[in-house]
A = this chain, B = another copy of it.
Amino acid sequence: MAMAVNYPEHITLDEAWKIIFDTFAEYPAKFKKNIEISEAVGHILTEDVTAARNVPHYAASAVDGYALKASDTAGASPATPVRIAKNDCRWMNTGAALPEWADAVLMVEDSADADGNVLVYKSLPPSSNVRPLGEDVMAGQIIAREGEMVTPPLVSLFLCAGIEKVPVYAKPKTVFIPTGDEIVSQKEWLAGRIQKSGTAAESNSLFIAATLKENGFDVDVMPILPDVPEILENYIKECTEKYDVVLVGAGSAKGKRDHTIEIFDKLGEVLFRGVRIKPGRPAMAAKIGGKPVICLPGFPMSTAVALWALVCPLLKFFTGVKGDGRSLALGAAGADKCMQTELLVQHSSGAGIEEWLRMKTALIDGKIYSWPLTSGASVLWALAEADGIAVLPREALECERGTKVNVWLRRKPDLPRRALFQGSDDPALQLLITPIRRRGADLACRTVGSMGGLAALSRGECHVAAAHLLDENTESYNDTFIERFSVGAEWLRFLVFYRTQGIIVQRGNPRGITTFSDLCKKDIVFSNRQPGAGTRVLFDCLLKKEGVPSSEIKGYSQICTTHMEAANRVSSGLADATLGIKSAADALGLDFIPITEEPYELVIPKKYTDHPGIAALLDALNDKEWRGKVEKMGGYRWA
């Protein structure tokens, strides 16, 4: 039975920002402080700053030449030079202080030496070639304004203008408390070669500290607390006394979150529980001892989005950064440059949930496409690999291919030099990306299977595909399929290598599988590949030959999209066998029973052969270092 609660649940981000900013409206004033200018860079001024001195504080010579009285030069010209005694003038380097008795400087080019005197060839008005005091700024001048951030030139100018301290918003003292019995400290995690099942590394503090640092904030990281309510309660209470902002990293299990909310409720006022964002949905906030306490969900991507969307806007609000919650959040994610794109693939978004997707982008025939990398809350790699973030509004449900999507870039992809690959998965191809980048280009990869790649190519949705598709009628590879998809376009084929396909089984082959027919035994659990994958086509052909209906294969409907994923299922005992390439078996130390050898071909429309990314790809196929690595992987034969 649901308990009645006295706080809002599952609110929108906009509601969350309103609650936070309203609850802590008086908080920023607490951080106003005069600090030494040398510490002030990156802080925001709370008041206008006025120069205390003229800069420069003296009149100086603007040239190399003679300081003199302008009146002494009256009537001088090249034809009628005036002679001035050495005592009535003084040599000046550029920047030297003008003597009090002088009011002008004669450029050395307008003078000559004559018997210890100086000949003057030019008549000067007063102030000639004098750099006035206060040329940079004058005493009393406003040199920086309330609301501005102290920048490198400002801090230098403050010093010159005689300013020792400036009024700024100090940075809040922030603490992060990781919690959870299953969480392993970084040191232990790295020390143990094999970790127990059910455990996870305390990795979020690394992300939090690095992200806050990028945003100009520090954070203290506490030791991991166990799931003991009394300990958590005491610790959180203590931290709210010592710190301005407290972040609690909760375990991801539901039971634990209940734990935390009960403590929040006991110690203070829960502000909200659950935000309609994905990832990051279980985020919560409270006010304890007057301080903001935010609970970050445990999955890495949930922590990331909750940190960007809730914690950073809060910290920025406290320190005088202007902007609404959304712009502060995107800024915190390093994603403040927006690029218009079209969805390359359909995407389903949950109803009523604002989804923060990690997007990769490519430019094809003048159109910028984007597609989401895996959206799981525990998948951090997608964030590292993404170009930016797309925020799908709560109203978004089914987003069709071609839907206009704004991608907020976290980095600047060099799209004209990036080729997009779609097609059959191969670990050797992953190794090719670095050689391509060394050639000044880039390759983005989508693993969609051989058939998917050719179909994408025919729709103009990639620059290159790869296929190893067996036609069971002709017993030839690729020909039939390329003919079917390439209607009217000239597609070039590049045979990269032959690969050995076979049965991947657990180490030591405990189920005693030696032939394909063994695979079809009733008690063998198979890990299958997705429809359209070349390996799936091969599997279905082999089944047909064997005369075994697919319904008799256990696990036939459980599909993986890469060789490594399928092999990993075998490795972890979720399956007994899969069909795949030798390199996948080798990488995981699994046994391998060879079945056949197949050609792996790149397919490239002729119009793209000059594309910088494709040119680099074709060149990289001859890269010696890459070929050496492929040979070491095993199961490949060069064409």
User: A residues touching B (Cβ–Cβ < 8 Å)?
Assistant: 37-38, 41, 48, 53-60, 64, 93-98, 100, 103, 125-127, 130-147, 151-157, 159-160, 162, 164, 182, 186, 189-190, 193-198, 200-201, 203-204, 206-207, 210-211, 213-214, 251-255, 298, 300, 304, 337, 376, 378-381, 383-384, 427, 430-431, 433-434, 437-438, 525, 554-555, 557-558, 564-565, 568-569, 571-575, 587-588
Whether the pair A48, B434 counts as a contact (CB closer than 8 A) is yes
List 14 A–B pairs whose Cβ atoms lie within 8 Å, in order of A's numbering: A56-B200, A58-B198, A58-B572, A97-B198, A130-B574, A134-B565, A135-B376, A136-B378, A141-B564, A143-B384, A152-B206, A155-B206, A156-B210, A162-B193
Whether the pair B56, A133 counts as a contact (CB closer than 8 A) is no
Q: A132-B572, A162-B189 are in contact. List 8 more A-B contacts (CB 8 A).
A: A93-B255, A95-B298, A96-B253, A132-B569, A138-B564, A138-B565, A147-B434, A157-B381
Q: Which residues of B contact A337 (CB under 8 A)?
A: 337
Whether the pair A384, B159 counts as a contact (CB closer than 8 A) is no
Of B151, B196, B203, B587, the contact of A384 (CB 8 Å cutoff): B151
Of B155, B157, B210, the contact of A155 (CB 8 Å cutoff): B210
Give chain B nearest CB distance to A63 CB in angstroms. 10
Q: Which residues of B contact A380 (CB under 8 A)?
A: 55, 136, 153, 156-157, 160
Of B164, B434, B587, the contact of A146 (CB 8 Å cutoff): B434
Known contacts A38-B206, A554-B126; A134/B253 CB under 8 A: no
Whether the pair A126, B214 counts as a contact (CB closer than 8 A) is no
CA A383 – CA B381 in complex, angstroms?
Answer: 40
Of B136, B196, B569, the contact of A379 (CB 8 Å cutoff): B136
Q: Which residues of B contact A134 (CB under 8 A)?
A: 564-565, 568, 572
Known contacts A94-B253, A207-B155; A103/B189 CB under 8 A: no
Known contacts A136-B378, A211-B152; A574/B41 CB under 8 A: no
CA A576 – CA B153 in complex, angstroms?
Answer: 34
Q: Which residues of B contact A136 (CB under 8 A)?
A: 376, 378-381
Known contacts A96-B253, A144-B384, A190-B159; A56/B378 CB under 8 A: yes
Whether the pair A160, B434 counts as a contact (CB closer than 8 A) is no
Whether the pair A252, B95 counts as a contact (CB closer than 8 A) is yes
Whether the pair A253, B56 counts as a contact (CB closer than 8 A) is no
Give chain B nearest CB distance to A62 CB in angstroms. 9
Known contacts A143-B381, A384-B144; A127/B206 CB under 8 A: no
Whether the pair B555, A126 counts as a contact (CB closer than 8 A) is yes
Give chain B nearest CB distance to A509 CB in angstroms. 19
* Residue with the highest number of chain B CB atoms closer than 10 Å, among A144, A206, A383: A206
Whether the pair B127, A203 counts as a contact (CB closer than 8 A) is no
Q: Which residues of B contact A434 (CB under 8 A)?
A: 48, 142, 145-147
Whether the pair B201, A160 counts as a contact (CB closer than 8 A) is yes
Give chain B nearest CB distance to A501 CB in angstroms. 19
Whether the pair A555, B140 counts as a contact (CB closer than 8 A) is no
Of B251, B254, B300, B572, the contact of A59 (CB 8 Å cutoff): B572
Q: Which residues of B contact A159 (CB under 8 A)?
A: 186, 189-190, 201, 203, 206
* Residue with the highest number of chain B CB atoms closer than 10 Å, among A160, A565, A569: A160
Q: Which residues of B contact A97 (CB under 8 A)?
A: 196-198
Report the 3 A-B pairs with minimum CB-CB distance, sorted nearest first: A97-B197, A97-B198, A152-B210
CB-CB nearest in chain B for A380: B157
Give chain B nearest CB distance to A612 CB in angstroms. 15
CA A599 – CA B125 in complex, angstroms?
Answer: 33
Whether the pair A139, B588 counts as a contact (CB closer than 8 A) is yes
CB-CB nearest in chain B for A163: B190
Whether the pair B207, A156 counts as a contact (CB closer than 8 A) is yes
CB-CB nearest in chain B for A211: B152
CA A380 – CA B156 in complex, angstroms?
Answer: 8
Q: Which residues of B contact A298 (CB under 8 A)?
A: 95
